[in-house]
Amino acid sequence: MMRLLILGAGYSGKSIARICGPSFDEVFGTTRSAAKFAEIERTGAKPLAFDGTAISSELADAFAGATHLVQSVSPDVDGDAFLKRFPDLKSLAPNLQWIGYLSTIGVYGDRQGGWVDEDADLEPVSERSRERVIAEKEWLDAGEKIGIPVAILRLSGIYGPGRNQFLNLENGTARRLIKEGQVFNRIRVEDIGRFTQFLITLNHGGIYNVTDAEPAPAEEVVEYAARLMGVPVPPDIPFESAELSPMARSFYGESKRVSNAKATALGFEFLHSDYRQSLTQMWNESAWRAF
């Protein structure tokens, strides 16, 4: 029996459940809120409550039967909170064959627009990215200890149905913040699920950038989406004068171009390798509101 357990079935986790589900006999997804059970059920997964501290008997059974585990819960101030609380993975999940950990390209820090790949030194700027660096190592060490592959998926800016610039334009929150030299990578949420399935099929571990192939300024993406919708392009707003939350401002404090060459060399084909193709597909197929 093949069983997949997703810790933190949020936006990315639900995509993984939806895409990987047909390959498994059972899929489970955890959430802190019972109000989100219906969303998880729509992916074909069985929702389980988990607040990060106490493991219910039902969740313990899911762990005991799990052959594959995806960790999608944010780390704590000093690394992965789950491993800190439950370090004995072998006893908790004796049938595990593969682990996936969802991380971030934020671990590379600011490269002033330069290119990075998986061999680049880690120079995290934000506290949350520093936490990811620690958590990545903890999961790699945990996998080595029990002798199973661990895949670290470093994700770029996640978007897709239900989370995109079309919705921002519709609700009036889209902004064209202009900061000279600023570029970002992005990733369609479906490609996160597809790459997870790809690695599971190969039973591969390792570290991979899961990102598109066209880093671009954020304002270009807003403009492209507006032109597809046939609505006015929002006016330019100089970054220096923009009102931003501390988290949003720190996000704009990093600029880099992230390579996905390692993933493609392995034989994976990104379905949405650039924002133009991706946004056009969502708009033409009316697939931008939600799954």
Residues of the chain falling short of pLDDT 70: none
Q: The pTM is what? A: 0.97
Question: In the prediction, which pLDDT does 39 show?
Answer: 96
Q: What is the CATH number of the domain that holds 102?
A: 3.40.50.720
**What pLDDT, on the 0 to 100 scale, is given for residue 228?**
98
State whether 151 and 12 are in the same domain. yes
pLDDT the model gives residue 259? 98
* Length of the chain counted residue by residue: 291
User: Which domain range does residue 201 map to?
Assistant: 3-158+188-210
Residues 111 and 176 in one domain: no
How confident is the model at residue 286, as a pLDDT?
A: 96
Residue 38 located in a structural domain: yes
- Convert the pLDDT of each residue in 182-193 to its tens digit: 999 999 999 999
